[in-house]
Structure 1
Amino acid sequence: MRNWALEWSWQLRATRLKSSEFFVVKKYCHEHNCDTTHRNANHRQATAKLLGSFYCNNYGEKKVGLKPKQIMELARKDHGVYIPYKKAWRAKEEGQNLVRGTAEDSYLHLAKWLYMAREKNPGTVAYLELDPMKNFKYVFISFGQSIRGFSLMRRVIAVDGTFLKGKYKGTLLAATAQDGDYHLYPIAFAIVDSENDIAWNWFFRCLLTIIPDAPDLVFVSDRASFIEKAISELYPASHQGICNFHLKNNIKLKFKSKSFLPLVESAANAFTFHEFEGAFRDI
């Protein structure tokens, strides 16, 4: 066992006796003045778990908290210990887990969380689907406030997905609208394994329980095949549009030119069919 005082002013090495609570001092150095840059960085007592407990308060309400290099610097300043980057990274994860809990805990308590979400937010709709092994598969949630407020929004819903960076990856699907001040209005969210036919079909089946199919309803997306297929099957009376941003990116990739973009912009921003026809004729 090793123990060093702050600033490395002294050193004590002791060994615990077998079947006893006593220790025998093997080495004691009352002055320890060697340059800290030459000391071994592999300090067994400076474990990632211990360092995480030291700096876990930095991961409370802060979105990011300390980065590994900042932990390395704090360990050097506070304790005179040089730790490698990998250990600092593990210390960051330990600190986050102590404050926020582990990913496994979050999935374990997901059913309880959804129950409380429904209890505290009247009208909330949530679905949790498990695989045959009773493990997490999909989750969908739309808060009651969002469902009631959609009646005041434009009947245009944008749907899209994005990958997650957590330990278990996955994909976040979302449906949003736009209010009268052009602000995004969240409607529903889902976490699935990936963007595929089955996942998007499940998402729209859940969405159908809160927003019924109607001829005045418009969905805007990147027109991926699995989104188009799910909407055509579950919302046959609605209309489909493509996101202007994705459309312009597709045009740039396909035609290797930006000369079409002003014309496409004019067509996308047309308020009457006559204006759109003129812009489309020019294209």
Structure 2
Amino acid sequence: MAEFREALRNYHVRTLRNFEYHRNDPSRIIAWCSDRKHGCEFYITASKIAHEATFSIKKMNLDHTCGASGENTKVTMKWVAKAVEDTVRSNPVAGVETILSYTKKIRVHVPKKLAYRAKRNVVDVVQGDHKTQYYRLRDYLQYVMDTNPGLDGCFIKLSTGQQILAATGRDGNNNIFPIAFGVVDKEETDSWTWFLTQLRTIIGSGNKFGTYTIISDMQKRWDMTAAPCSHVVVAMQKVKLHPEDFVHEFFKKPLYCETYKHIIYPVLGPDCWPHTMVDDISPPVFKEKKGKKQTARKKGQFEVLAKKDTSRIGIVTCSNCKKQGE
């Protein structure tokens, strides 16, 4: 029944026509063109087959003789959300203009207010309710460890409007290696203190894995603290020493292979996760930030600001003296 109604709506939105129900109940549906009084002969009847769950079309005439119009179709918020779901899945940060561009392409008029509501709806469908997902983090972790023996943690896909603090390292091949992450309300001293305290608990103290070099604020510099520099290499060659003998084990093949020896097997959806008997992880208190949402990253203290694009700024001509630039 629901699938039939959805198909009927899709057909009319796609063909830029409208319809109305003459009868609409759980066992029988009769629909005809909204312009029936002006001679349009479109109609369709469908009913439920006795003693079955099947809904069957009995009679129909799908030819509309009325004119097409994209302003009076039965477009709803849910229809728009369903239509753009694939687009939002591929680009979760797509704005409302993307939705309006799609509906304009199929010549369907959608008010901007309805497009905003559809965007919120489809984001909830695609990304889920992040607050409720916190309660299943331990279930997910247990399932990951059951299917991937040897792993010590898990990662989540999250986009809540808050911020994720992450710690990553470099492996022996100079590739990014994820270590830990944390979700905080905003990037501030207290949040970083908490995160770094937890990070120390994970990696431990001392230099078991070599000397740590900590870099923050997206700096481009990376210090190699466990390998001889170019000057030392030249000196070693003079005395017939092998530089690779003085490189930390971290940068050698055996430890690299040890790092990636585990195969990460795929996991199934939430319906297959076990229900652990430990306390759930409660979601943090998310605060709605006032004002316009920030879309650009704030520059660091020592970052060079990009030059403003003045290519679209025209030259002003004075209306009195007719000279430019005054």
TM-score, normalising length from structure 2? 0.43
Higher helix share: 1
* Larger Cα-atom Rg: 2
Ranked by relative contact order (alpha carbons within 8 Å, sequence separation 6 or more), the top structure is 2
TM-score, normalising length from structure 1? 0.48
